C-alpha cells in the first residue's frame, strides 16, 4: 500500500474513496510503521554520534576541505537554517558565509559535539524535530546535507511545504546527498528502509531514499519548485531549489 500512495500521487482521501475502508487501515499501518522507523533512525544517530565523523567521512580532514569547497560554490549568505546539522562539520563551513546560522538536529549527542566544534556568535544550536518544530521566523537559505534521503516518501510533500513556509522572499534551499548509484552499499529490509549496524553490533532501521537527480527535479517541479542538481564526484550530488514564481 505504501507504494501506491508514494508513486501514484493520490491524496489519502482519494485512496480511501477508491479502495474503500480497507485503505484507511493500510494508511494507518503505513503511518505507524513509518513513525516507528523514524524513531529508530533518531536512536541510531544518537548512538552513532561519537563515531559518526570517522565512519561517515573516513579522512575527516580531507572531507572537511571538500565540504568547504562545496559550500563556497553555493554561497549560503544571509540568515541560514541548517537541518540535521549532525556533528557540525557542515555548520562550520556555513558559518564562514552566513550572517547567522540556526542549526537543528534531533540527536542531542550530535548537537553537543557540533556546539563544541563551532564556537561562533553567529551560530545557534537547537535539538528539534523538523516535522514538529516551528522556527518562528524565515530564512534566506535552508541547508541540509545527508538528510533528504532520510525523509520518508509519505512525508516528502509535507517536508517541502514546511521549507516553503520558512523561506524569506526569494530564498533558496540547498542540499547535498548521495546519488542512487550508491544504493548497493545498503542492506534493504523493506521499501525505503535499510538496516544499519553500529560498532557494538546493535542494529537499527533507517529510511534511505537515494537521490535520482532527474526524478527529484521532476518531483519538485510538480510541487512548485525550480530545482537544479549537480554531481560532485561519483558519491555526492548537490542541489539548489527555489519556489517557482
Range of the domain at 51: 2-243
Nearest to 216 by CA among 153, 141, 134, 140: 153
User: Helices 21-48 and 108-117 meet at what angle, rounded to 10?
Assistant: 40
Backbone dihedral angles phi then psi of residue 99, each to the nearest 5 degrees = -75, -45
pLDDT at 70: 98
pLDDT at 100: 98
Asked if residue 118 has pLDDT above 50, the reply is: yes
Q: Residues of the chain with pLDDT > 90: what percent?
A: 85
DSSP-derived pairing of the beta strands 167-177 and 225-232? unpaired
pLDDT at 34: 86
Give the mean pLDDT of the chain. 90
Q: Is the distance from CB of 217 to CB of 141 less than 8 angstroms?
A: no
Nearest to 132 by CA among 158, 156, 109, 113: 158
DSSP-derived pairing of the beta strands 236-243 and 225-232? antiparallel
Asked if residue 2 has pLDDT above 80, the reply is: no
Grid cell, residue 182, equals 550508491
Tell me the per-residue pLDDT of 79-112, one tens digit each, with 9 for 90 and over: 999 999 999 999 999 999 999 999 999 999 999 9
Q: Is the distance from CB of 106 to CB of 127 less than 8 angstroms?
A: yes
Q: By three-state DSSP, how is residue 64 classified?
A: helix
Residue 230, number of CB atoms within 10 A of its CB: 13
- pTM of the entire structure? 0.87
Q: Any residues with CB less than 8 A from the CB of 197 and at least 6 apart, and which?
A: 203, 204
Number of independent structural domains in the chain: 1
Instruction: Name the band, by pLDDT with cuts 50, 70 and 90, for residue 234.
Output: very high
pLDDT at 165: 97
Query: What whole-number distance in Å separates Cα of residue 99 and Cα of residue 2?
Result: 41
Where is pLDDT greater, at 12 or 205? 205
Q: Residues of the chain with pLDDT > 70: what percent?
A: 87
Grid cell, residue 196, equals 544499519
Burial class (CB in 10 A: 0-12, 13-18, 19+), 186: middle
Give the CATH number for residue 131. Answer: 3.40.50.150
Asked if residue 11 has pLDDT above 80, the reply is: no
Q: Any residues with CB less than 8 A from the CB of 90 and at least 6 apart, and which?
A: 67, 71, 82, 143, 145, 176
Tell me the per-residue pLDDT of 151-166, one tens digit each, with 9 for 90 and over: 999 999 999 999 999 9
Where is pLDDT greater, at 8 or 156? 156
Backbone dihedral angles phi then psi of residue 170, each to the nearest 5 degrees = -95, 45
Burial class (CB in 10 A: 0-12, 13-18, 19+), 134: exposed
Query: What whole-number distance in Å separates Cα of residue 143 and Cα of residue 83?
Result: 6
Amino acid at each position: 500500500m505504501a507504494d501506491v500512495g508514494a508513486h501514484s500521487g493520490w491524496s489519502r482521501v482519494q485512496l480511501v474513496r477508491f479502495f474503500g475502508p480497507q485503505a484507511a487501515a493500510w494508511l494507518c499501518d503505513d503511518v505507524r510503521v513509518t513513525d516507528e522507523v523514524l524513531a529508530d533512525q533518531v536512536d541510531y544517530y544518537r548512538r552513532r554520534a561519537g563515531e559518526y565523523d570517522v565512519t561517515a567521512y573516513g579522512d575527516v580532514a580531507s572531507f572537511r576541505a571538500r565540504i568547504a569547497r562545496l559550500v563556497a560554490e553555493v554561497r549560503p549568505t544571509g540568515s541560514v537554517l541548517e537541518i540535521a546539522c549532525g556533528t557540525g562539520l557542515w555548520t562550520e563551513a556555513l558559518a564562514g558565509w552566513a550572517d547567522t546560522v540556526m542549526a537543528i538536529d534531533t540527536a542531542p549527542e550530535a548537537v553537543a559535539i557540533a556546539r563544541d566544534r563551532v564556537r561562533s556568535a553567529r551560530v545557534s544550536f537547537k535539538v528539534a524535530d523538523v516535522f514538529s518544530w516551528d522556527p518562528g521566523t524565515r530564512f534566506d537559505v535552508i541547508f541540509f546535507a545527508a538528510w533528504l534521503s532520510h525523509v520518508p516518501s509519505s512525508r516528502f510533500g509535507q517536508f517541502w511545504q514546511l521549507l516553503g513556509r520558512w523561506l524569506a522572499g526569494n530564498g533558496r534551499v540547498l542540499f547535498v546527498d548521495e546519488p542512487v548509484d550508491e544504493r548497493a552499499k545498503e542492506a534493504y529490509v523493506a521499501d525505503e528502509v535499510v538496516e544499519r549496524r553500529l560498532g557494538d553490533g546493535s542494529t537499527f532501521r533507517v529510511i534511505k531514499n537515494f537521490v535520482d537527480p532527474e526524478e527529484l527535479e521532476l518531483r519538485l517541479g510538480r510541487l512548485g519548485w525550480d530545482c537544479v542538481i549537480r554531481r560532485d564526484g561519483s558519491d555526492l550530488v548537490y542541489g539548489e531549489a527555489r519556489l517557482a514564481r
